[in-house]
Every structure is written in structure tokens, then in C-alpha cells.
Amino acid sequence: FRISFFCSLDQLTQSIREVGLIYPPIVTPRNGFMVPVTGWKRILACKQLLLSSIPVYVSLEPDDLKSFKLALFENLTTNKFDLIEIAEIVSGLKKFGESEKNIVQNYLPLFGIPPIYDYLNLYTKISRLNRKEKRIVSEKKMPLSVIEHLIQFSPKERKIVFPMLVFLSQNKQKELLE
């Protein structure tokens, strides 16, 4: 149910060290394990602090789509999602069974994206970038205009192009890709 992947835990770890865990993560049982629905960063921060146990809320919701929506809406009000996170959300909604029509009409506008199927397709393609590419896009805060060009390349071509993009300004990135 994880939406974001690349983050620093330093401030969160410091906060938990100083005042404790304020908001327990939500977990749900899946295949004999307790799976984080929300709060995976809090769990990792507690792990870094070598805490032997932490309080959690247990959700017995069996529906993966509903659990994914819980993770989305808990984060929606407090986080500004980047392009990769939006792509992961769109991909997750599709994976867990949300209709494309509903994603376009009801979810894309939540992120300030016009409710147009072309955007659904674009963000779906972005979600298919490999983990290393996603990290670079996220860390460099590459704009959508650059990513649109980038996803037109094959994985083999992207492997060649990506190292060149890392050190360029956004205008130069777009120029190179064009």
C-alpha cells in the first residue's frame, strides 16, 4: 500500500527520539503477516531507533482497494506528491481494481491534473520506470515535460540517457531528449 519510496528519515527519527511515536501506523493482516497500510516511514524510523515494539492500529479491512485508499487519503492532506508518487498512486488504484473512468474523474483532479485519459496513460507509463530511474526523477524533481520525452525511450535507451540527464538543468534535459 506504499505510495512514496524515496525519503529521508532523519527528521522523523529525531522527532520519535525526542517525543515518541505520536501517530501509530495502521497495519492489516495479509497472508499471515501484518502489512503496513500507513506509517511505513514511522515503522522504519522506529526500527532505526532499535525500538523492540511499537503501538499500531490494526485494520481488518479485507479489501485491498479500500486499504490503499486509506493510505492515499491519510497522506493526501499532509503530503505534496511528486510525479513518481502520483504515478504509483494511479498504478496502485488500477492494480487494486479501481476503474479507469473513476481514476480519471475522481482521482486525477485531487492532484491538480485535468481529468483526461491521456494523463492516466502518461502516469501509468511513468509508473513503469525502473526503481533507479524513479529515484533520479524524484530526487532531481524532473518536470513532466522532461518525463514525457523520457518515457518514449526504450529501457535500454534510457539506461544510456539517464546518466547524462543527472547533471543537466531542466532546459538542457529537455533539449537533449528532444
List the pLDDT tens digit at each of the 178 positions of the chain. 888 777 788 999 999 999 999 999 999 999 999 999 999 999 999 999 999 999 999 999 999 999 999 999 988 888 888 999 999 999 999 999 999 999 999 999 999 999 999 999 999 999 999 998 998 888 888 889 889 999 999 999 998 988 888 888 888 888 888 8
Please state, as a whole number, how many other Cβ atoms lie within 10 Å of the Cβ of residue 100: 14
Per the CB < 8 A criterion, the answer to whether 92 and 5 are in contact is no
pLDDT (0 to 100) of residue 6:
72
Amino acid at 2: R
Torsion of CA 32, 36, 41, 42, to 10 degrees: -90
Predicted confidence at residue 167, as pLDDT, reads 85
- Supply the pLDDT for residue 117: 97
pLDDT at 63: 95
Q: What is the pLDDT of residue 87?
A: 95
Per-residue pLDDT, 42? 93
